[in-house]
Each structure stands twice: as structure tokens, then as C-alpha cells.
Amino acid sequence: MNHRFVRLVAVWSIFLASSSADAQPSVSSPQQQAKAKFEAGLAALDGGDPSAALPFFQDAWTLSSKPVALINVAVCEAQLGLVATASRHYQEALAQPSITPAQAREVKSQLASNASRIPTLRVRLDEKTPAETTVLLDGTPMTASTLDTDIRLNPGTHAIIASAPDYVGRLYSVTLKEGAARTLIVSLQLAPQSQVECAPPPSSSMAIPVPSPTAKPMSHVPAAALPTSSVATTGPTALSSHLRTGAFVTFSVAGIAAVTGAVTGRLALDRSQELRQKCPIVQQCDPALQPIQAEAKALADGSTAAFVLAGAAFAGGVTMFLLSTRVAKPSPQVGVTIGPGTLSVQSRF
């Protein structure tokens, strides 16, 4: 299918003529720059290179705010397989007050033809997954209104990260093809309890005969009175077990936070690059680009926060693990028991 609008050159000339009716633009005016960008985009699109044409049409849209430029942005995106993004830009073009009836009809036709190409993904929590589970789709938090709902996405691979307190976080990777409809069931498992049993400390007892007033003096210690030993069978302390469990949980949180930071950081770079393409000069940016700028900043801040959380969680996990190995070792204890004719000494190390 040929997605290029053959009528756009004439439409572009009409809008240039209407803009020059009030004042004749100079060579360096934004309208003339937009026209040059638009023509360069058409040349690239005619040459079969939508990826090269896309930034030219994006610049033309930024400089002119004319629907015809945004429509061609969507045309390039549809040819590159970014059908969900193209659909959003078609809808945005339809909402422009200056769109002509002919352009609106063409856009609606493209929307209808691309609808079957857009894949959807439904993310659903299984019955055993806690309600407080946090789910990120390509770094963006999902809400109650977007969970268990068909989300329109571009074809390709998407990352879903799920986490919850006291549960092991999980990273899913889902690849969508054009027109596919998939459902992902998210399930989490409780963090593993410590299964390591510490060796019980040795316990020894020694009985030493003590002469009674009526007993005869003993010249030697009988064999029956030689030291005997016994081994305790108690396990690790409860505090040690809790500390190890906490360490495993915080290590899981650190891993999830690190992955989240990497994903959101990549998305922030993509948004920043998109903003630079549409607005090379920051001081002359169109106010309509403020949402992209705000989204890029929010993603960058989120990435930084995620990496900070990952570092803090890892340090906390190491601390708890080291403490758990220390509290499992009891302090040396010594006890003395005096009975009729004997002195008993008991010790624990």
C-alpha cells in the first residue's frame, strides 16, 4: 500500500500562500524553513526511505504546527511499523482546528486501514499475586485502569516488571507481532526462607568428685568420673533466620530497582532524542512539545531514583546477611553446680 499522500504538496502550497497574504516571509522565516524540511521529507519518502523522511516531517511540524506535517509523520511511522504511535499522531492531527475536510477524510481512511495492524497486550495478575503488586510496562507504571485491559502497542519486544513486598520480583519479555492480541498472566512467588541450618555449638560437662567429711581420701579419680561430652540439637536463633530472610528480600528489591533504572533510563534517552529532533533550539520550542520534555525529565528522575534505591537495598541486604552470621553464634556460658560429694562444671562455647 502506498501510504504517501499525493495531495500534500498542493496542500502545502495553499497554506504557504495563505500565510504570505498577511506578510511576505523572509528566507529564514519559520514557514520557509518548514517548507524546506517538508520538501526534504517528501524527497526521502519518494526515495523509499521513511526513516530518513521522518525527522524532516517532525521538524516541519514543530516549525509550522500544520496538520499536513503531522500527517506525514504518521505516514512514516506506519511504514516503519510503529503503527500504534502512528495511530496516536493521526488522532492528534484530526483534533487540529486547521485540518481540511480532505485531510480529515484521508486520515480517517488511514486509521481504518492501520487498525488491524496494531497489536494489543493485556497484563493480568493471577489469583495468588498480592493486590499491592507494582507492574511497569516499558518503564511506565500500570494502574488499576490499565491492568487487565487491552493496551495498543507497537510491534516488537516489551519489558514488564512486577514486584511486591516479601515476594521475588520478576521480569517478563513479550514480543508482539502486527495484529496479535496477547495476554500475560503475572505471578510472583514468596521470597525464599533461609534453609541453612547452623551447626549446633558443642556442650561439655565435667564432674569432679569432692570429698565429703565422712568419705575416705581418694588417691585417684575413677574412670567413671572422667569428662564426658554431649552435643546440643537446637537450631539457629529466630533473629538470625529473620535477618537472612530480610537480606534475600532486599537483594530482590535491589535487582528489580536496577532493571527498572536501566529501562527508564533508556526511555528517557529516547524521549530526549525525540525532543532534540523536533526542537533543535530549546528557546524556540513549540509549547506543544512540553509534554515530551516533561516526560523525558520524569523518566530521567525515575531512573536516578531507581538506581539509588538499588544501591541502598543492596547495601542493606549485605548488612543484614553479615549480621545474621554473627547473631547465630551464642556467647560462651559456664555454670557450676554443687551437689552432695560432687562439684559439677558445665560450659557452652
Residue spans per domain, the chain: 8-115, 119-190, 202-236+330-348, 238-327
Residue 347, number of CB atoms within 10 A of its CB: 14
What are the distances in angstroms from CA 40 to CA 14, 18, 250? 18, 21, 54
| pLDDT reported for residue 6 | 39
Query: Which grid cell is 248?
Result: 534475600
- Of the candidates 246, 244, 259, 248, the one whose C-alpha atom is nearest the C-alpha of residue 134 is 259
84: left (phi over 0), alpha (psi -120 to 50) or beta: alpha
Instruction: Confirm whether pTM is higher than 0.75.
Output: no
Tell me yes or no: is domain 8-115 CATH 1.25.40.10.
yes
Q: What is the DSSP letter of 47?
A: T
The phi and psi torsions of 124 (rounded to 5 degrees) equal -130, 140
The answer to whether 174 touches 114, Cβ cutoff 8 Å, is: no
Tell me yes or no: is domain 119-190 CATH 3.90.1150.10.
no
| pLDDT reported for residue 111 | 94
Reading the chain (349 residues) residue by residue, the pLDDT tens digits are: 444 443 444 444 444 444 444 444 445 688 899 999 999 999 999 999 999 999 999 999 999 999 999 999 999 999 999 999 999 999 999 999 999 999 999 999 999 999 999 999 999 999 989 989 999 999 999 999 999 999 999 999 999 999 999 999 999 999 999 999 999 999 999 988 633 444 444 444 444 444 444 444 444 444 444 444 433 444 455 666 666 777 677 767 777 877 777 777 777 777 677 766 666 655 556 666 666 676 777 777 777 877 777 777 777 767 766 766 665 555 555 555 555 555 555 555 5
What are the distances in angstroms from CA 130 to CA 124, 212, 345? 12, 70, 54
